[in-house]
């Protein structure tokens, strides 16, 4: 493997590692740890559009350990009148 091939391989591996880390950090069970409590999460939800919240809900529903957060997302969607 030549120098350019090694550099390209290393860059590809670094991008893949970065993508994996991003997926881990943004997975709902990890993401909710960014908030100090349910109220702070609710405030964050209120800053999003209904469309954003629906997409967020779809991702959260894949993880039963964040069920309480799904309920909050649904409440915020309802509060926004949809």
Rounded CA separation 34/40 (Å): 9
pLDDT in tens, 16-56: 888 998 999 899 999 999 999 999 999 999 999 999 999 99
Tokens 């209904």 locate to 50
Q: What is the DSSP string of 26-61?
A: HSHHHHGGGSSSHHHHHHHHHTS-HHHHHHHHHHHT
Predicted confidence (pLDDT) at residue 14 exceeds the cutoff of 90: no
The model carries a pTM of 0.77
Candidates 69, 82, 77, 75; CA nearest to 31 is: 69
């Amino acid at each position: 493997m030549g120098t350019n091939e090694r550099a390209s391989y290393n860059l590809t591996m670094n991008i893949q590692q970065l993508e994996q880390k991003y997926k881990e950090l943004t997975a709902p069970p990890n993401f909710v740890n960014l908030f100090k409590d349910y109220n702070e999460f609710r405030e964050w939800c209120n800053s999003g559009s209904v469309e954003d919240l629906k997409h967020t809900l779809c991702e959260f529903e894949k993880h039963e350990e964040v069920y309480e957060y799904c309920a909050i997302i649904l409440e915020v969607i309802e509060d926004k009148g949809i």
